[in-house]
């Protein structure tokens, strides 16, 4: 009985999280959450764009919007968020089509020092 209820609960959670079963909120660290909150506040103040925190879809929309904006402060917060995420989240952001394809997260230079 207990096993069956656990199986149902995990099945409902995986259905809520989408096809691939990856829930962004479950993998955020405290620091990553902090930078995501700052990013949200910057987007609201400068672009009057509000992104609710009630679903992974809205967080993905916020990250996608921020990756397309040419604003130094927003890009800094996005990078700090990215660097403070677990490797699983970093890979998810790079491969899931969330971060814009032309963003520097996808196209780092080869040497890491600005030279190719």
Whether the CA torsion 99, 100, 102, 103 is positive or negative: it is negative
Domain-located, residue 107 = no
* Domain extent for 79: 24-95
Domain-located, residue 17 = no
pLDDT at res. 27: 83
- The four Cα atoms 64, 42, 81, 58 give a dihedral, to 10 degrees, of -40
Q: What percent of the chain has pLDDT over 90?
A: 31
Query: Total structural domains in the chain?
Result: 1
Domain-located, residue 1 = no
Lowest mean pLDDT segment, chosen from 32-46, 53-67, 94-108: 94-108
Domain-located, residue 5 = no
Question: Can you tell me the mean pLDDT for 60-88?
Answer: 91
Model confidence at 104: pLDDT above 90: no
Domain-located, residue 63 = yes
Cβ neighbourhood burial of 116 (10 Å; 0-12, 13-18, 19+): exposed
Domain-located, residue 12 = no
Domain-located, residue 101 = no
Domain-located, residue 82 = yes
* Model confidence pLDDT, tens digit, residues 22-41: 788 888 888 888 999 999 99
């Amino acid at each position: 009985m207990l096993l069956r209820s656990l199986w149902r609960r995990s099945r409902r959670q995986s259905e809520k999280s989408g096809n691939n079963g990856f829930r962004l909120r479950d993998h955020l660290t405290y620091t990553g959450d902090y930078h995501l909150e700052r990013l949200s506040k910057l987007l609201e103040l400068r672009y009057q764009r509000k992104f609710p925190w009630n679903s992974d879809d809205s967080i993905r929309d916020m990250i996608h919007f921020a990756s397309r904006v040419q604003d130094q402060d927003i890009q800094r917060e996005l990078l700090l968020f990215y660097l403070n995420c677990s490797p699983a989240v970093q890979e998810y952001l790079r491969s899931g089509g969330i971060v814009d394809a032309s963003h520097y997260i996808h196209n780092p230079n080869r040497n890491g020092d600005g030279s190719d």
